[in-house]
Every structure is written in structure tokens, then in C-alpha cells.
Structure 1
């Protein structure tokens, strides 16, 4: 447990304050930049700031769940998903830089709150923890699809990144279901959606 705590602390510092590096190719590579209007660039950067904050929260959720996971297989599955989320963090940050935007000022808050939620979910047992992953990813895919509709039509680079992220998130949810995720009560799903809405609306501006 001490080793897990040290690893979690190290990962939290790297996630929030470090420069994350993708292990996979940048999805927008080779796609021409077409965003010229300042208003469009600001809007796309704000959407990617929201996505970046969501990936910060996802990292924290997985780390919190992995910290208290009962089975080694569950922990390994959570850590693999976290590694793929690191790619998403790097992609979002790179696109934000390209659009002359910035990441959320509240990233440490998103991480701390999500880590605690993940730990509590993990303490409820591996099946509930995996159910939390499955529901989280379902809501994230829904959220990303909404962003695809809100993007400026000509922003092919951002669209490529979000599409790749959506595919990965759906895969994480399917993996959780295959490995024994338990369905969550409706009230829990509703609370998760409400909390995510607060974060996304705040991160768009801050």
C-alpha cells in the first residue's frame, strides 16, 4: 500500500504539473490547419480545455480506484486505461497550444476531487469500481460526441483528436463491462452526470 501511495502521488504531480507525452501518434498529424478566425480558435481551444480537464479527472479516477483495487487484474486494467488517458492529455494540451489557448486553472481541484471519488468507488468493491468506469466512459463518449457537433465545421484537426479519444473511451467502457462491471443505481448515474456538467461548464471559462 505504501508503494501504491507513493506511485499515486508521483502520478498526480506528473499529471497536473508535468508535461505529458503521448506514446501514440498525434491524431491530427498531417491534417492542415484551417482555423483562422479568432472567435473560432477561442471556442475550439475552450472545448479542448474542457476535454483536457476531463482527462485530468479520468486520470485521478483511475489512480484512486487502482490504489484500493482488490484484485491484481482489476488494478492492471485500470492502470492500462490510465496510460491511454495520458495520450489524451498530451493530445489535448498540444491542440490547446496550437490554438493559443490554455489549460484549466482548476486542474488541481479536478484531480483531487476525482481521486477521492475514485477511491470511494474502489472501496465499494471491484465490480462496483468497474461499473463506475463503464458509466463514466459512457458519459464521456456522449460528451465528446456533443463536442463534435459544437466544433467549427472546418476544424478537422480538433475533430480528428476528439474522434480518436471517443474510440478509446468506448473501448475502456467495453473492457470494464467484459471484466465484470456491476450496473450502477440510477441515482448514482444522475449524480455523476450532474457533477460532470458542473466541471465542463466551469472549465470552458476557467
Structure 2
């Protein structure tokens, strides 16, 4: 029987450091095609462009946070199946990260200046959630994805009508987030008690307010 190789604490630290650097400072490639590749670009006026860029920066930050959360959870997951689920979701979130970064470039904008802070905070939350056990781990996935779905709906309503490319990216992202939540529920996620969801929502509101401009 094959024995799974054991990684030293230094190996694990190097892996997590590389993941953090790639997420925050790198340009990780998407494995799937850009959803808006066949959607025509429509000229936006300056006010519309800034608004679309602010919303897509929020979504980009959300994907940075998702990477930190899932990698933190996977680092301490007790069950191999749970760890695999988290890393699979993280890979799809990498697609989202790349798509949002590309859309920001198209809008002549950039990601948040505070991405290192967003990642570090989310990674710490992921570690704490994972240490509570896999049911809680998956419960955080469900609540996170539901809250992300809600803010994507808000953005779809708020985007300038002419910004069809951002809409196409967000529609695909929303479908992925719903699938991640459903998969985590089927895998045994626990329902998070209050005030945890309320605290998560409050933290998300602060993040969105800051990321829209910075």
C-alpha cells in the first residue's frame, strides 16, 4: 500500500507562503475561459467606468478573501475529503480572481491596495474555523458563499446597463458560488449560529466600503 508522503512544517509554511504571494501579488491564470470573451465592449462614460471598476474591485477582493479562507481551512482540515473539497473550491475561486483582475484592467483600474490585509485576515478566520472541526469548516463555506451570492446580486442590479462584460463575469461567478454552497451542505456542513453570520456580514460591509475606493 502506498504511503502518503508527510510534509514537514517548513514545507507546509513554504506552500502557504507561495499561495499567499501568488494570490496577492501574482497573476494566477484561470483554468476556464473568460466568460466575457465573446461579449462586446461598450464605451462607458467616466462616472460609469469608475462605478463598474469599484464594484469589480470589491469582487476581486472577495476572491482574494475566498482564497485566504479556503487555504486556511484546508491547512487544518481533518478529513481528506473535506480538504479536497476546499482546494477544489479554491481553484474555481482562482478562476474568479483572474477574471475580476482582467475586467479591472479592461476598465483601466486595479485591485485593492489592502489585498495583503484582506488575505491575511481571511486566512486567520479560515484557520480558526478549521480548528473547530470539518462540520464548522464547511459551514463557513456555505455562509460565505451565500453572502457572496447576495452581494453579486446587488452588483448586477447596480452595474451600468451598458457594462455587459462585467455582468457576464458576475453571472458565471454567482452560479459557481451557489454550487460551492450546495456541495458543502451535502458534505455535512453545520449551520453557523448567530452572531457568526451577522459578524461576517458586518465585516463584509466594511470590506466593500473600503475596497470600492481603495
Same-fold status (TM-score > 0.5): yes
What are the within-5 Å matches in structure 2 for residues 54-69 of structure 1?
54-69=62-77
Task: Show CA shifts across 1:63-85 (max 9, x none).
Answer: 00000000011000000000000
Q: In the TM superposition, what is the alpha-carbon distance from 1:89 to its structure 2 partner?
A: 0.5
What are the within-5 Å matches in structure 2 for residues 127-142 of structure 1?
127-142=135-150
Task: Show CA shifts across 1:78-130 (max 9, x none).
Answer: 00000000000000000000010111000000000000000000000000010
The correspondence for 2:93, drawn from 79, 85, 88, is: 85
Counterpart in the other structure of 2:213? 205
Instruction: Find the aligned partners of 1:120 and 1:6 in 2 and give their Cα distance.
Output: 20
What are the within-5 Å matches in structure 2 for residues 41-52 of structure 1?
41-52=49-60
Q: Helix, strand or coil for the counterpart of 2:81? A: helix
Counterpart in the other structure of 1:165? 173
Runs of 4+ deviating beyond 4 Å:
none
| TM-score, with length taken from structure 1 | 0.98
Instruction: Find the aligned partners of 1:35 and 1:135 in 2 and give their Cα distance.
Output: 36
Gaps in structure 2 of 5+ consecutive residues:
1-7
Gaps in structure 1 of 5+ consecutive residues:
none
What are the within-5 Å matches in structure 2 for residues 66-77 of structure 1?
66-77=74-85
- Matched residue count: 206
Instruction: Find the aligned partners of 1:115 and 1:35 in 2 and give their Cα distance.
Output: 38
Contact 1:5/1:67 (8 A) holds in 2: no
